[in-house]
C-alpha cells in the first residue's frame, strides 16, 4: 500500500496493480460513450466505479505529535515538515502552560471572592432575620432566614458536586492491574 497525506488527512491507498488504472479509465470512458445509458445512469455508473477504487483509513494518536513514520512522510511532502510540526506542538504547549498559569490563579481569586460575598450576604440576612424576629415580624423573619439558609446550603452542595465531577473528568485514566 502506498501512503499519501492529502489535505491534512493521512490516507492509505492501495497500490494499483499494473494496468488496473487503465482498466478503470477504459470502463469510465465506456460508460461516457455508451449511447444507451441516460445522463443520470452514466453519472451513477461512474460514481459506482469511483467508489470501488476509493479506500480511506483514519488514523488517530494520543501523543501531541504524529508517529515517527508519519513525520518522515511530512518531511517527504514538505521540506523540513516534521520539524515544523514539532515546533508547532512546542508553541501550542508553551501557549497552554502560559494560559493555565494565568487562568488558574484567576479562578482561585474569583472563587475566594464568591465565598467572601456569600459570607457577607449570609451575615446580613442573619442580622435581618434577627431584627425582623425581635420587631414582631416572625413570619417574614422565618421566610428570610429559611430561604437564606436553603439557598446557601444549595449553592455549597452544588458547588462541591460540580468540583468533584470536574476532577473526575480531568483525571487521567489508568490501567488497573488484574492482581
Sketch the domain layout of the chain as residue ranges: 2-60, 105-170
- Top pLDDT among 50 and 17 is at 50
What tens digit of pLDDT does each residue of 38-48 get? 889 888 888 88
pLDDT at 149 over 80: yes
pTM exceeds 0.75, yes or no: no
Instruction: Put residue 120 in one of left, alpha, beta given phi > 0 → left and psi -120 to 50 → alpha.
Output: alpha
- Top pLDDT among 74 and 13 is at 74
According to the model, what pLDDT value does residue 54 have?
A: 64
When pLDDT is averaged across residues 97-107 and rounded to a whole number, the result is: 90
Least confident of 14-18, 77-81, 113-117: 14-18
Tell me how far apart the alpha carbons of residues 62 and 70 are, in angstroms, rounded to a whole number: 14
Tell me how far apart the alpha carbons of residues 92 and 97 are, in angstroms, rounded to a whole number: 9
pLDDT at 157 over 90: no
What tens digit of pLDDT does each residue of 5-30 get? 444 444 444 444 444 455 556 678 88
Classified as helix, coil or strand, 3 is: strand
Residue 12, phi then psi, degrees to nearest 5: -105, 125
Amino acid at each position: 500500500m502506498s501512503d499519501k497525506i492529502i489535505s491534512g488527512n493521512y490516507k492509505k491507498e492501495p497500490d494499483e496493480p499494473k494496468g488496473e488504472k487503465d482498466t478503470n479509465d477504459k470502463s469510465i470512458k465506456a460508460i461516457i460513450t455508451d449511447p444507451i445509458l441516460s445522463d443520470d445512469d452514466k453519472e451513477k455508473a461512474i460514481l459506482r466505479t469511483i467508489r470501488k477504487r476509493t479506500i480511506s483509513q483514519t488514523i488517530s494518536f494520543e501523543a501531541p505529535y504524529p508517529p515517527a513514520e508519519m513525520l518522515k512522510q511530512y518531511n517527504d511532502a514538505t521540506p523540513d515538515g516534521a520539524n515544523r510540526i514539532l515546533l508547532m506542538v512546542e508553541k501550542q504547549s508553551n501557549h497552554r502552560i502560559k494560559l493555565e498559569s494565568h487562568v488558574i490563579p484567576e479562578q482561585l481569586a474569583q472563587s475566594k471572592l464568591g465565598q467572601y460575598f456569600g459570607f457577607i450576604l449570609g451575615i446580613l440576612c442573619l442580622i435581618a432575620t434577627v431584627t425582623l424576629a425581635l420587631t414582631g415580624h416572625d413570619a417574614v423573619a422565618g421566610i428570610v432566614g429559611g430561604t437564606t439558609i436553603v439557598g446557601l446550603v444549595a449553592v455549597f452542595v452544588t458547588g462541591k458536586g460540580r468540583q468533584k465531577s470536574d476532577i473526575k473528568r480531568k483525571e487521567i485514566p489508568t490501567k488497573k492491574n488484574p492482581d
